[in-house]
A and B are shown apart, each in its own frame.
Chain A
């Protein structure tokens, strides 16, 4: 399997010290994870519910702030966040959709239930692996399985394109769509190029775009072509050097003005990161009750917010049973699994938390589900921890959840961190019909 992947060039460059952007293969394990149809039906319902509540929450934060005025969530949760965007105070995205693409991470507890670990609302990645994994497994195991009994994932690019087209700035026209990438040196460039290619849309870099009269254009050999919907895979801070980081070479000067004028749709909307924060995540069940008047279908992993005094006290007293995470980092960076630490290291973590409690949460070291995984250097199947990255799309009146998702495996024995950037691997995920 490793050989197939290498030739196809499915890679994931890792940010770490040493030489930047080294291409690393994302290991793929053949043994699939199977989710029975009834389980999936419930998850699908829960993920859409969650996405709706999150979009309503983000809209509320940037407009009336009812949830804060009604004291359901504390303002201290929102405004100090790096991802809060003052720009969005004066912008209403088309159809009030903020998180068109959401990657929610689930785990399955030893009690058999699924819990939400976190939501990724900025640029969730990994969907290209789901599609490539499926292609690879079909090739390899063509005869061993009856494909009619597993739900297909291949319609994802078409669904994504339809989602993007449904939120075009002028409803009556078919909008032109492009994918904005930071370029080939980005760790997820493969995915950017994969998605653009499968959707049949242009893959652009910031330098291909310019703004004139509050419209966004790309430079082609036949002159400027207008872009209506931009699926951007760069962070907010890099979007517009006139508004955010002035040193950004990746963005487009003036794009926020075009967005405010209603001439382009940016996907996901800037400022959605405010709900992506791990501390905010713990309020999602409350949001679901508040905005939708429903009970959450999928519960959260219990989360202790260190900024709350009683939670902080609990965290400091029960460090050994907990996993501590910074609220605003992704990719598994900064995660501390406390029972692995020496006394001195524990003390250090405690001091770090006390220095800036707002920045940390803790979660019980929930027994992540374990699953048989083929371990290459041992030549045997062994149990490994896995989680599930799901992909939810929200266009105008068209919610969609990719059946299955990316099961990520911690390949190191006993490791709990499954992120590809931290040496995790992946598995195909089968939802039965």
Chain B
């Protein structure tokens, strides 16, 4: 088991005061078989506390709905300590490819997994948009195919920060041959779903083993392997999901996993900055220290 301390910081400054605003944050690590949130603290500049809600896939969101006091900036810091167990890495079923196909082709299966089989505009890809060899071969097991596809997509795109934005479609990223984690994920989803393999977009935090700090949230893909279950793949780093991946949420594409959504009434422009820090709390026990300090202050 590994303990992580995750910090998500954001600050938005507004040129003119915001009279009314509603914000939804989807940044809290979720809880599942491999991860558990041990502590968390949410610090912010608003006068009222947020309330929580669940989104359509059951993930926890934090809401700030401000309609009384105008404000000119909004800062929010999430500090969370998460215990992570290594997720299973096995991807091979005991089924033959034909048997896997029978599962994938079943109407029951298709109807139950429909949300993650339907192609969305962000991940739509036409047959001519990618080289044919990234498709599943006849007789190829789903597990082996996913490992192969993960590697292929890693080669298809070059990782260039800032080259794409939140609205970039998989097709555009492929045409440029460049993108960020989100684009890798959309491309992989766009290839998997039309072949009947359910795939979902995952947002989360990634602990990079070296000293590099990933200043953004990460994105990867979960695919459903018959008999095996959902397994995570990170085509941007050519990795399988391991205990360095801390999941926030999944959805059909980026739009279901946006970390911040806001609707506000203001006249001027605004400037937003984000920062994401992931630390192994074995190496950095400042989190505990800080907590103690805070308790002393209280």
Contacts and interface: CB of A to CB of B under 8 A. Distances in A.
Contacts of B22: 211, 241-242, 253-254
Contact of A257 (B63, B67, B115, B118): B63
A71 B107 contact: yes
Contacts of B57: 90
A86 B111 CA distance: 13
Contacts of B55: 257
Given A86-B56, A214-B51, A242-B24, A254 B107 contact: no
A79 B118 contact: yes
A212 B51 contact: yes
A20 interface: no
A257 B58 CA distance: 11
Contacts of B252: 86
Interface string B82-119: 00000000000000000000000001101110110010
A410 B185 CA distance: 54
A65 B107 CA distance: 10
A246 B118 CA distance: 22
A89 B111 contact: no
Nearest to B54: A260
A34 B57 CA distance: 51
A87 interface: yes
A152 B278 CA distance: 70
Interface string A239-267: 00111001000000110011011000000
A211 B65 contact: yes
Contacts of B54: 90, 257, 260-261
A257 B61 contact: yes
A261 B263 CA distance: 21
A31 interface: no
Interface residues of A, number: 25
A7 interface: no
A8 interface: no
Residue from the set A69, A71, A242, A254 with the largest chain B CB neighbour count within 10 Å: A242
B263 A241 contact: yes
Q: By DSSP majority rule, is chain B's interface helix, strand, loop, or mixed?
A: mixed
B107 A213 contact: no
A69 B111 contact: yes
Residue from the set B24, B57, B65, B263 with the largest chain A CB neighbour count within 10 Å: B263
A350 B297 CA distance: 76
Contact of A246 (B58, B67, B110, B261): B261
Contact of B53 (A241, A246, A260): A260
A117 B114 CA distance: 30
A137 interface: no
A246 B167 CA distance: 14
A68 B263 contact: no
B122 to A, nearest CB: 14
Given A90-B56, A241-B263, A79 B65 contact: no
Interface string A61-74: 00001001101000
Residue from the set A65, A75, A79, A257 with the largest chain B CB neighbour count within 10 Å: A257
B115 A254 contact: no
A89 B112 CA distance: 11
Interface in B27-46: none
B162 to A, nearest CB: 23
Contacts of A65: 111-112, 114
A52 B108 CA distance: 25
B65 A210 contact: yes
Interface in B124-142: none
A79 B120 CA distance: 11
Contact of B65 (A86, A243, A253): A253
Given A69-B111, A79-B118, A242-B24, A254 B53 contact: yes
A253 B53 CA distance: 12
Residue from the set A241, A246, A254 with the largest chain B CB neighbour count within 10 Å: A254
Given A79-B114, A86-B115, A260-B56, 17 more contacts: A65-B111, A69-B107, A69-B111, A89-B115, A90-B57, A90-B58, A210-B67, A211-B22, A214-B51, A214-B53, A241-B22, A241-B263, A242-B261, A246-B261, A254-B53, A254-B63, A257-B53
22 contacts: A68-B111, A69-B107, A69-B108, A71-B107, A79-B118, A86-B56, A87-B56, A90-B58, A210-B67, A211-B63, A211-B65, A241-B22, A241-B263, A242-B261, A243-B56, A246-B261, A254-B24, A254-B63, A257-B63, A260-B53, A260-B54, A261-B54
Interface of B: 22, 24, 51, 53-58, 61, 63, 65, 67, 107-108, 110-112, 114-115, 118, 252, 261, 263
